[in-house]
């Protein structure tokens, strides 16, 4: 068991018939299955779960947990840690997933209690989480003392059948299309673009500086990011816009991030990057595409809907002082 996942989490009986314990790499497949059952829009594989648990930066004090029922079956999972990119210190996050058929048995409450204990031990002063807008999860969060924040939307696209617009026959003067893989020799232009765009994303938690080595590990070395399917738009040889492609290696595609640098916004470059990535992903065999946007991000919501995306789900941001 790696140091990133062991973290002194003892085996604890939190509620009758439910045991919460530290994640073991052998749990990766079961955890991926729980996550997919809970948030079916996300790309999640056993390989990506194992990688996330192993590769989290040490300063984030990340802990991964699983909940087992009386038969030893994993019925829930959690990951928790400090938000080290936050511009405000003391911010932590926890993500809880419980199999739909196991809800109402105290699994989520047991996971939250242990995750909050881990966050407090790590020095967090506030915990941030998400709750599905499903008529049930918000009430669960509020009963545990969490206050509602912003709303985010999940959008889906039947990529196999979508009538995607054609790419322009001619690009604007000075504009070029590349793949993210073309930057394998020097990733810093993508890193610098990502820092600027991420800082401007709407959200309850503001993100700031991330060291280059951490960015490489979390954004370049992820096993579920396909750099050959990610698109980058250059203007006069400089990165101006980009989109990140996460895939399960089979049918599913998730837009991990789409951003345009401030100096180039309003020129349709994000649309060009997304359209190029979607078209090439379909040629590579991806059949379902998903993305997520803050509900206040009107430009990106309009762009995605113009490409054929439709509402697939929603969730609320919640937080609680510890």
Residue range 3-41, pLDDT digits in tens: 333 444 545 655 778 999 999 999 999 999 999 999 999
User: Higher pLDDT residue, 1 or 213?
Assistant: 213
Closest CA to 288 of 246, 232, 257: 246
User: What pLDDT is stored for residue 276 in this prediction?
Assistant: 98
Tokens standing for 8?
Answer: 């002194």
User: What pLDDT is stored for residue 14 in this prediction?
Assistant: 59
Q: What is the pTM of this model?
A: 0.92
Residue-wise pLDDT tens digits, 53-105: 999 889 999 999 999 999 999 999 999 999 998 889 999 999 999 999 999 99
> What's the 3-state SS for the chain?
CCHHHHCCCCCEEEECCEEEEECCHHHHHHHHHHHHHHCCCCCCCHHHHHHHHHHCCHHHCCEEEEEECCCCCEEEEEEEEECCCECCCCEEEEEEEECHHHCCCCHHHHHHHHHHHHHHHHCCCEEEEEEECCCCHHHHHHHCCCEEEEEEEEEEEECCCCCCCCCCCCCCCCEEEEEHHHHCCCCHHHHHHHHHHHHCCCCCCCECCCCHHHHHHHHHCCCCECCCCCEEEEECCEEEEEEEEEECCCCEEEEEEEEECHHHCCCCHHHHHHHHHHHHHHHCCCCEEEEEEECCCHHHHHHHHHCCCEEEEEEEEEEEEC
User: What pLDDT is stored for residue 61 in this prediction?
Assistant: 95
Residue-wise pLDDT tens digits, 180-200: 999 999 999 999 999 999 999
Please report the domains of the chain, with CATH numbers, ordered by start residue.
3-124 (3.40.630.30), 156-315 (3.40.630.30)
Tokens standing for 143?
Answer: 């009963």
């Amino acid at each position: 068991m790696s140091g990133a996942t062991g973290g002194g989490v003892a085996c604890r009986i939190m509620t009758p018939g439910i045991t919460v314990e530290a994640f073991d790499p052998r749990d990766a497949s079961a955890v991926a299955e729980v996550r997919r059952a809970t948030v079916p829009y996300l790309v999640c594989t056993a390989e990506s779960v194992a990688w996330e648990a192993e590769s989290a930066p040490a300063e984030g004090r990340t802990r991964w947990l699983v909940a087992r029922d009386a038969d030893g079956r994993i019925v829930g999972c959690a990951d928790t840690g400090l938000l080290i990119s936050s511009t405000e210190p003391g911010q932590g996050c926890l993500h809880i997933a419980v199999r739909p058929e196991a809800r109402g048995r105290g699994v989520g409450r047991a996971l939250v209690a242990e995750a909050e204990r881990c966050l407090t031990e790590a020095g967090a002063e506030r915990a941030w989480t998400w709750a599905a807008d499903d008529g049930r999860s918000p009430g669960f969060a509020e009963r545990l003392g969490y206050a509602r924040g912003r709303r985010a939307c999940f959008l889906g696209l039947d990529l196999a059948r979508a009538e995607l617009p054609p790419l322009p026959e001619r690009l604007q003067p000075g504009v070029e299309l590349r793949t993210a893989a073309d930057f394998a020799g020097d990733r810093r232009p993508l890193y610098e673009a990502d820092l600027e765009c991420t800082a401007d994303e709407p959200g309850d938690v503001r993100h700031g500086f991330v060291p280059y080595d951490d960015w490489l590990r979390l954004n370049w070395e992820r096993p579920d990011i396909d750099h050959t399917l990610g698109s980058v738009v250059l203007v006069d040889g400089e990165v101006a816009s980009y989109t990140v492609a996460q895939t399960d290696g089979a049918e599913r595609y998730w837009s991990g991030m789409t951003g345009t640098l401030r100096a180039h916004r309003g020129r349709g470059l994000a649309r060009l990057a997304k359209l190029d990535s979607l078209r090439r992903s379909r040629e590579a065999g991806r059949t379902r595409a998903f993305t997520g946007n803050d509900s206040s991000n009107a430009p990106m919501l309009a762009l995605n809907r113009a490409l054929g995306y439709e509402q697939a789900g929603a969730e609320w941001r919640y937080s609680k002082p510890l």
